[in-house]
Amino acid sequence: MDSNTKLMALDLVLLSVLEAQPAYGLEILQRIQDRTGADYEFKEGSLYPALHRMVKQGWLDSSWGESQKGGAPRRYYSLSVLGREALKQKKIEWSKLRQAMDGLLGGT
């Protein structure tokens, strides 16, 4: 998978996970594992740079919130209006890629 396809997949995963409700970093990783049966996972070292990039692009909003367990405050990420549009576009792009790959692989 080339770097553009990997970036598209990462963006789609993060935007999809945040579509329903805001979350903090480790919660995002847990949601990804839960939703994919742990078949798609990546490290915090990839997560936080991607989240920061998406904030700069205007796709995500971030804010500090209290920890539910009384620990240090956590940075929560949520989809912005631009992020919801980006998610729609990424879903279309992914669908086209999947159709192309199905055609190449004989629909398997």
- Mean model confidence pLDDT for the chain: 90
pLDDT score for 34: 92
- Distance, in Å, from the CA atom of 35 to the CA atom of 64, rounded to the nearest integer, reads 25
Q: Choose between 4 and 37: higher pLDDT.
A: 37
Q: Which long-range contacts (CB under 8 A, 24 or more apart) does 71-76 make?
A: 74/24, 74/25, 75/24, 75/25, 76/22, 76/23, 76/24
The count of domains in the chain is 1
Answer yes or no: are the C-beta atoms of 90 and 15 closer than 8 Å.
Answer: yes
At 74-88, the pLDDT tens digits run 999 999 999 999 999
Tell me the CATH number at 96: 1.10.10.10
pLDDT in tens, 3-17: 777 888 899 999 999
Please report the pLDDT score of residue 58 as a whole number: 98
Q: In what order do the strands lie in the sheet with 23-24?
A: 23-24, 74-79, 60-65
Residue 1: band (very low, low, confident or very high) from pLDDT cuts 50, 70, 90: low
Q: In which domain, by residue range, is 57 found?
A: 3-105
Distances (CA, A) of 79 to 37, 97, 100: 24, 24, 29
Residues in the chain: 108
**CA pair distance 48, 95, nearest whole angstrom:** 26
Instruction: Give the mean model confidence (pLDDT) for residues 45-72.
Output: 91
Tell me, what's the pLDDT at 108? Answer: 55
pLDDT band at residue 39, thresholds of 50, 70 and 90? Answer: confident
